Amino acid sequence: MRILLTAGAARAFGPRLLAAHRGVELVTMGPGGTLSLGAGTPVERDASGVEVAWATTDLYREDRAVVRPFFGLVRRCETLRWFQSAAAGFDAPIFAELIKKGVIFTKSDVHAVPIAEYVLRAALDHCQDAKAWSVAQAARRWETHEFSEVFESTWVVVGLGSIGAAVATRARALGAHVIGVRRSAAAGGPVDEMVTPAELPAVLPRADIVALCAPANSSTEHLVDEGFLAAMQPGALLVNIGRGSVVDENALVAALDADELGAAVLDVFETEPLPEDSPLWAHPKVTVTPHDSANSARRVRRQFELFSDNLARYEQGEPLRNVVREADLV
């Protein structure tokens, strides 16, 4: 079985992968899209024989000379049977294309812990008004201020995949009341209440914190619009770690200016990198981070563990973890 991966991934994970899985060969893609087998034997693209493609996080940090040929090969490879993504989202057109062709597509849940901790930090900073302490320290002023607690606050978590569930678990651990939002309101999940998207407007006025953990699709595009924001409490916090397309940024700025909500912490945006002329950069009620909430060093270890476990399942003909099906695309 031949596995396609980047040269960086082969250096980082290759020895452990080969030791744990005896029947595999590594097809490595280097700079410029060159392919090699094993110790460096050149491989022609049309004869690569790749059955599995593993897109590790380093692929997206490389220049286009690696990214484009990697996905170009994946798109054209007739022997490809399974694609393991490094991302939790699956809104890229190439992913839908693979799924519709019958390729097994598995997403990643390795980012759930750091992203959930990011959301928790954002909530604590907001509730405790941590910025006030930083300002006072910079001015060498001994100033106290009263603040609120996460305990007994109400959270609305939109999207209860691995990330949303991790957010909900941590919020409840601090004593928050969590309302989950997903397509099916059937019982289950680490929440106190479950509602459908149709019922979301009715619970928004109760929320002290709204965490957006939903994927990008036709039903979530500009979910956070003028009406959504108007329904929120004036002092509430909005945190977006899902996808930038979920939030209408113009409506968000207008709502913040009108004091319809307290603050927004945004890690994803409609256009990335965020344009220099975006009003979000300098808005006093907005915290901007550069799509960085998942960037824990430990995610690399989890990335290997997930792929190795799924590869063992694949070899044994067992169901894989985190499979995305065509029905999930809408």
- Tokens 């956070």: give the residue: 224
Q: Is residue 4 within 8 Å of residue 11, measured between CB atoms?
A: no
| Three-state helix/strand/coil letters over 67-107 | HHHHHHHHHHCCCCCEEECCCCCCCCHHHHHHHHCCCEEEC
Q: Is residue 132 within 8 Å of residue 111, measured between CB atoms?
A: no
Question: Which residue of the set 143, 152, 199, 272 is catalytic?
Answer: 272
The dihedral through the CA atoms of 35, 41, 45, 49 has a sign that is negative
Task: List the beta bridge partners of residue 224.
Answer: 247
Burial of 193 (0-12, 13-18, 19+ CB in 10 A): middle
Burial 291-315 (b: 16+ CB within 10 A, else e): eebbebeebbebbbebbeebbeebe
Question: Which residue of the set 172, 291, 302, 313 is catalytic?
Answer: 291
Q: Is residue 43 within 8 Å of residue 28, measured between CB atoms?
A: no
User: What is the C-alpha separation between 127 and 116, in angstroms, rounded?
Assistant: 16
The answer to whether 97 is a known catalytic residue is no
Helices (H), 28-177: 64-76, 93-100, 112-128, 130-138, 162-173
User: What is the C-alpha separation between 134 and 144, in angstroms, rounded?
Assistant: 12
Question: Which residue of the set 126, 182, 243, 299 is catalytic?
Answer: 243
User: What is the C-alpha separation between 110 and 107, in angstroms, rounded?
Assistant: 9
The answer to whether 272 is a known catalytic residue is yes
> Which pair of structure tokens corresponds to residue 280?
């979000």
Q: Which residues are catalytic?
A: 243, 272, 291
